[in-house]
Structure 1
Amino acid sequence: MTKTILLFSLLIFYQSMSQAQSEDPYLWLEEVNGEKALEFVKQKNEMTINKLTREKAYQKIYDKSLEIYNSNERIAMPAIYDQFVYNFWQDKEHVRGIWRRATKASYLSGNPSWDILIDLDEMSKKDNVKWVFKGAGGLYPKYDRFLVSLSKGGGDATETREFDVNKKAFIEDGFFIPESKGGGSYLDENTLIVSVDFGEGTMTTSGYPRQVKIWKRGTPLKDAQLVMEGDSTDVSAYGYLMRDGENKYLMFGRGITFYTRSNFVRIDSKLIKLSLQDDASINGILNNQLIVELKSDWNVGGNTYKQGSLISLDFKALITGEHRVSVIIQPDEFTSVTSSSTTKTKLLVNLLTNVKSELYIYSFDNGMWTRKKVNAPDFGNIAVNATDDEFSDLYFFSFTNFLAPSTLYVADANDNSMKVYKSLPSFFDASKFKVEQYKAKSTDGTLVPYFVVASKNVKYDGKNPTLLYAYGGFEVPMLPSYSGVIGNAWLENGGVYVLANIRGGGEFGPKWHQDGLKEKRQIVFNDFYAVAEDLISKKITSSKNLGISGGSNGGLLVGVAFTQRPELFNAVVCAVPLLDMKRFNHLLAGASWMGEYGDPDKPEEWKYISKYSPYHNVKQKSKYPEVFFYTSTRDDRVHPAHARKMVARMTEFGYPVYYFENIEGGHAGSSTNDQRAKIAALQFSYLLMKLKG
């Protein structure tokens, strides 16, 4: 009987594969390193490079972009571990980069004396591997050992090695985790908590670990003790150590979908599930107050805590099932919590109000939260870059906007003092430009804000080459930021830059995101079109002079845009995109995003996904703009086949396209400054060619 069932299952499998092959003639492009697929990539790359590098603007843009990326005047962003500040740095001499540290006192002096720990260029040459640094986590409290994550070519999968910072060497016979998504962190000197690929059946359909184990030094990884296991259809499982002063808690999470999870704490070798909403996010702990962000209304203890609120719960009481809740902030419809982080005694909360940042310091006393506003600059984007959460109230934050170069501030959350640490130089003359904020009315009447950066002398005559950028997904807000590359390559060449805050993002809290989920996705695209139409109606530009750009989920956005509304645009930069929405959940990490888009394997959900899937909506004999696609062979998050297959189909239908696939770079698209400069020069040369002539 079992044999019959197995044979029947195999027959169904091969029939479905055969059907897929007949429906999709370009499945062979999903073979990342397939000989035929790489030959396709080589041919398309050569055609694009031969064309775009001959454009008049290319070399100047490349040279200036590389100069900016390699500038020694860039800010060395800090990561604080006890008495040292760590930093990863790339420049002309260190192409693949160096991991280095300086004493905290030396760094705070403004002229740090750096001690190089790992030279990625030397290591890559020695190993004949293009190593990419992916971060490091230290051993509390001395931080004399670190677990260093390294990627081959920039993908998300890393191998983890144990490193002695005093000896500046990897530890022989130290902890070593083979290449895998996931990773490990220290519980103590001789114990790690690990969630990686442990072998057959230990990964989810999304390509992430579903087991969490405790691993003792000197024992094989395969013999690590299993503590928690999720289902294969989950997104992931993970564990981490949460410190609160002298107390420490071993935490576990089971990611059911991209937006829902079960949270556990291990007490006396037992896992206790925390009674929180499955879409709530734990943001840390301070003075026994568990910091939690609500993504939907929560009715508990006779009270309703509103969607988007930041609350805290008495953690020791929560472990026993009690809900002692304190409200930190309940945002209004124009405000949202961007992030929160802790110093030793304070909570830092970064808020957005009408897409402009404000930073607050919160204190918890006598069961109440009180706050003070940080006197940071107004009308821009604030980011908390580093905190000294275990030893002091020292923290660093940065401020930027479209025209103000990023400035790093050093601050003390205890006395609310702050001072400028370092500012970027001006890479272009910002005095010639202005920033304005407008709102466009979408199809349902919702007002969608957007920023316009243009010359002070701009004439609204419909002739300005204009680049519209947006993302519209995963509750990620699009915020003003300074870019020397955009300033030089685009603004200085007469371009207008537009950043749209469409739904799907997090600019106005969870609801702004949830309004565009799954079957409601079309409203995200409609918001984008509303901004484009508003730009045209205001005569800031015209469809002939309007280009759009987006990456990842934003690549899907612009892919939908040019297939649904080709008459609106004359140029499209579609980067590391999702485009085949029938198979996205079968490619790499795609299954994890079904909480955002839906499940195309379910007929009722494919019904609405199929209406916008770019790969399935390319039509013959349409007037599409000449699209520039780019992706990375080493992207192990969004499969390069999305872009490859779209290019193949459009080429089959006779549409001219541009295509560039960087052999390394991962989902970021590039790993070195030279690669970043090359991609910038290619895309801006293309945009100037199409929109300015």
Structure 2
Amino acid sequence: MSNAYPDTRRGDHVDVYRNRQGEEVRVPDPYRWLEDPDAPETREWVEAQNRVSDAVLGELPARQAYIQRLTQLWDYARPGTPWRRGRRYFRQFNPGLLNQPKLQVSDSPRGPWTDLLDPNSLSEDGTVALMGLGISKDGGRLAYGTQSAGSDWVTWRVRDVDSAQDTDDRIEWSKFSGAQWLPDGSGFYYAAYDAPQGGTLTGTNRNQRLMLHRVGTPQSEDQLILARPDEPDWGFHAHITEDDRYLIVDVWKGTARMNQVWVRELGSDGPFIELVNDFRASFTVLGNDGDTLYLLTDEDAALSKIISWNVKTGEQQTIIPEGTDKIDFATLVQGGLLLVTLKDASHRVTLHNRHGARQRDLALPALGSVMGFSAHQDDTEVFIGFTSYLFPTTPYRAELPGGELEALEQPSINLDVDEFEVTQDFAISKDGTRVPHFIIARRGLKRDGTNPTLLYGYGGFNASMTPAFSPAILGWLDRGGVYVATNLRGGGEYGKEWHAAGTLNRKQNVFDDFIAVAEHLIETGLTSPAHLGIQGRSNGGLLVGAAMTQRPELFAAAIPQVGVMDMLRYHEFTIGWAWASDYGRSDDPEMFSTLHAYSPLHNLEEGVQYPATLVTTGDHDDRVVPAHSYKFMSELQRVQRASPGLSPSHSPGHQHNQHRPTIIRIQVNTGHGAGKPTALLIEEWADVWSFLENHLK
């Protein structure tokens, strides 16, 4: 197999860094040329690698069976959680195997529903997806953003809801933006960048501007609302209070969950009141009563609290203090506050009055997650989307204050989920930290160490990995696999301190947590190294890359997807600079030493037997540019090729499997994952599962 790998050219480029001792460190970067995705040599390399991976994956015995079963599992009606604007209700809906969900409108949350926008008509292959919706207050106009081939760049258009026809409006070079309509529907706020300098998919994204577009006018006439060229890393997100009184601007910087809050009366051209004028904590405006804003914040509250803040007087009061569980998000409802809290990585819902007094709990149907949440502060109607590993995402409605959750529709899938169960367990990490994880498996699972098991993780950017339904996971379970989802430090499951414990010089904690769960699964007999695989996406791809380079003997297979693999240069591309709040940067000598110590690309060694590895990426990924995966795969193939004499004794637990392919699957016209067509998702997961099954059974 190793002789079939493309012979990737190695250049002589060397970068010079300084470590924490102040010494110069020379780091070769022989695959620098792969950073240009459009260069002919790079395209030839992509084609050569895909020929190899297509041949390997095409021969996997279970691949066609997975395609057939996943197609059946994906083919069920998926009603989105509705929301109301004016007298109309809106939702997204996929009847089964459409590549993209349709946007629908109705006069009732129970339908009947009429198609308003079908993104499947915007491209032949389903690679144009909706990536942003803004509906005017009266429900009469829609601003919709589309992404093409997986890129984060969004083009905004305007559609009349009554006629379902587009206007001539068109806005380009928007990214990381919503669309907030003026109360009269004459225009909307959005955020944009200059066209990127350098490659469209690789150039850095800085100097975001907040703009106001008036319907019927060209983008060139849009009004500049906010720009801070002296602070090129700042971004802006606008929303308007429901009483039309205030324009609120969240000022963000990178991926740190800290922001400023600026306020001014709507229609005023005067200066903003900088309610929060530094990046000391996270603040989310939930709504207002006159001059009093309600905010969710983690300032002096690691698990968050809710406060009121008078815009005119500056007076603050704590409405709901920090408790024992993290407040994940909240919304104002008529006369009250609806809170969603996290307890050991699953959600609870409680109703409070405006003074913070707890009124009652809203019972959820299972241990799981609230995925959609829609309400108005002057209304008693609330919509909630609920999901869990064995519970398809289902829209619910409740009439507050006393009503219970009522399912608007109940999705029906092609599998008896009662044959499976979800359990939660805790592993002990290297420093004694308890690490929760969910185990999803067939009932009556035998703990004899032979179960083919996939361990999934993320561990970063304050993101909470809560239970969610996926037809892809069902495909693995249905053929006897076990799926384990971890809740690692670096995430947001236990608040601010849990996140901070997995960042910067503490990033190794994330990898230690993941490895601890793997060891726990082995020690408790659920699986063994010969039957254990690992998978993660994006920051989770970094996790897999670090785990397989630090503890290769623990795993039989590894699936790093769209991963951040070159920790010394990630900040040089698109929005990568924004991740420094979690990672730090290699031009900081203190952080260089930390990054270099775990960077997956820089820790591959000759003479080590690594797990069978399937790397996946998209050639249009402008979030984590594909060069990360290209360079990692090139070096992994090189060290494997340079170690032909490895015997099974180098890798305890893997004596049964000396044939370990190292391949990369590069999807064309796809990006980081958001908006990926159903057909391509089924193909990708069939490849992943059949690869894992081949190496874990």
Alignment TM-score, normalising by the size of structure 2? 0.87
2:323 to 306, 331, 334: 331
Q: For the Cα contact (< 8 Å) 1:631–1:662, is it kept in 2?
A: yes
- Report if aligned partners of 1:309, 1:327 keep a CA contact under 8 Å in 2: no
**Quick one: which of 341, 345, 348 aligns to 2:338?**
348
Q: Deviations over 1:123-154 (max 9, x none)?
A: 325xx9942221320122x2211111011112
* Count of paired positions: 651
For residues 588-627 of structure 1, the aligned pairs below 5 Å read 588-627=574-613
Report which stretch shifted further, 462-471 or 555-564: 462-471
Flag the 1:413–1:265 CA change in 2: closer, same or farther, 3 A: same
Letter in 2 for 1:311: I
Residue 660 of structure 1 corresponds to 665
For 2:226, the equivalent position in structure 1 comes to: 228
Distance 1:134 1:228 in 2: 23
User: What is the aligned partner in structure 2 of residue 439 from structure 1?
Assistant: 426
Residue 314 (structure 1) aligned with residue 309 (structure 2): yes
1:155 corresponds to 2:151: yes
Which amino acid in structure 1 is aligned with residue 247 of structure 2?
Answer: Y
2:449 corresponds to 1:462: yes
> Which runs of structure 2 are paired with 1:11-160 in the superposition (5 Å)?
23-72=28-77, 74-90=78-94, 94-104=98-108, 107-108=109-110, 112-124=111-123, 130-140=127-137, 142-160=138-156
> Are the aligned partners of 2:79 and 2:92 in contact in 1 as well (CA < 8 Å)?
no
Alignment of 1:193-342 (within 5 A): 193-198=189-194, 207-216=205-214, 220-231=218-229, 234-255=232-253, 258-267=256-265, 268=268, 269-275=270-276, 278=279, 279-288=281-290, 289-297=292-300, 306-317=301-312, 320=313, 322-332=314-324, 335-342=325-332
CA displacement, residues 344-368 of structure 1 (integer Å, 9 cap, x when unaligned): 543221111122321012221xxx2
Distance, in Å, in 2 between the alignment partners of 1:21 and 1:634 is 31
Q: Does 1:486 align with 2:473?
A: yes
Q: Which amino acid aligns with 2:225?
A: V
Assess, with a 3 A threshold, how the Cα gap between structure 1 residues 23 and 115 changes in structure 2: closer, same or farther.
same
Indicate how the Cα distance of structure 1 residues 337 and 585 shifts in structure 2: closer, same or farther if over 3 A, else same: same
Contact 2:309/2:317 (<8 A) preserved = yes
Consecutive aligned runs of 4 or more in structure 1 exceeding 6 Å deviation: 14-22
More displaced 10-residue stretch of structure 1: 266-275 or 178-187: 178-187
Compute the displacement of 1:56 (Å).
Answer: 2.2
Partner of 1:404: 391
User: What CA distance in whole angstroms lies between the structure 2 residues aligned with 1:496 and 1:256?
Assistant: 36
Partners of 2:15 and 2:64 lie apart in 1 by 49
> Which shows bigger deviation, 343-352 or 154-163?
343-352
Say if 1:345 and 1:170 are closer, same or farther in 2 by CA, change over 3 A.
farther
Does structure 1 retain, via aligned residues, the 8 Å contact 2:87–2:139? no
> Take 2:34 and 2:75, find their aligned partners in 1: how far apart are those partners?
35
Distance 1:585 1:241 in 2: 29
User: How far is the alpha carbon of 1:216 from its aligned partner?
Assistant: 4.4
Structure 1 Cα separation of the partners of residues 538 and 400 of structure 2: 36
What is the percentage of aligned positions where both structures have the same residue? Answer: 27
User: What letter is aligned with 1:75?
Assistant: P
Distance 1:218 1:481 in 2: 41
Aligned-pair Cα RMSD in Å? 2.9
Q: CA deviation at 1:559?
A: 0.6
Question: What are the superposed Cα offsets for residues 44-100 of structure 1, whole Å, 9 maximum, x if unpaired?
Answer: 22222222233222112112212332323x334323322222233445674345332
Cα–Cα, structure 1 residues 665 and 114, in superposed 2: closer, same or farther, change >3 Å? farther
- Aligned residue for 2:503? 517
Selected match of 2:537 from 547, 551, 566? 551
Amino acid paired to 1:591: W
Q: 5+ unaligned residues in a row in structure 1: which ranges?
A: 1-13, 298-305
Q: 1:562 to 1:190 in 2, by over 3 A?
A: same
CA 1:595/1:496 → structure 2, altered by over 3 Å: closer, same or farther? same
Whole-angstrom distance in 1 between the partners of 2:101 and 2:388: 27
Q: Distance in 1 between matches of 2:413 and 2:250?
A: 45
Aligned to 1:11: none
Q: Relative to 1, partners in 2 of residues 1:294 and 1:590: Cα closer, same or farther, differing over 3 Å?
A: same
Q: What residue is the counterpart of 1:683 in the other structure?
A: 688
Q: Secondary structure at the match of 1:480?
A: coil
Cα distance change on mapping 1:277 and 1:358 into 2, 3 Å:
farther
- CA deviations 1:559-585 (Å, max 9, x no partner) are 100001101111111111110001000
| Aligned equivalents of 1:421, 1:91: Cα separation in 2 | 15
Residue 189 of structure 1: how far off its partner (Å)? 3.3
Contact 1:254 1:263 in 2 (8 A): no
Once the 2 structures are TM-superposed, how far is the Cα of residue 264 of structure 1 from its aligned partner? 1.1
1:613 is displaced (CA, Å) by 0.4
> Which string of whole-angstrom CA distances, capped at 9 and with x for unpartnered residues, describes residues 141-191 of structure 1?
x2211111011112211111111111211113x3x2113324443224334
SS in 2 for 1:340: strand
Name the amino acid aligned to 1:113: P
Q: Which amino acid aligns with 2:92?
A: F
Higher helix share: 1
Q: Distance in 1 between matches of 2:541 and 2:420?
A: 28
Give the partner amino acid of 1:235. Answer: D
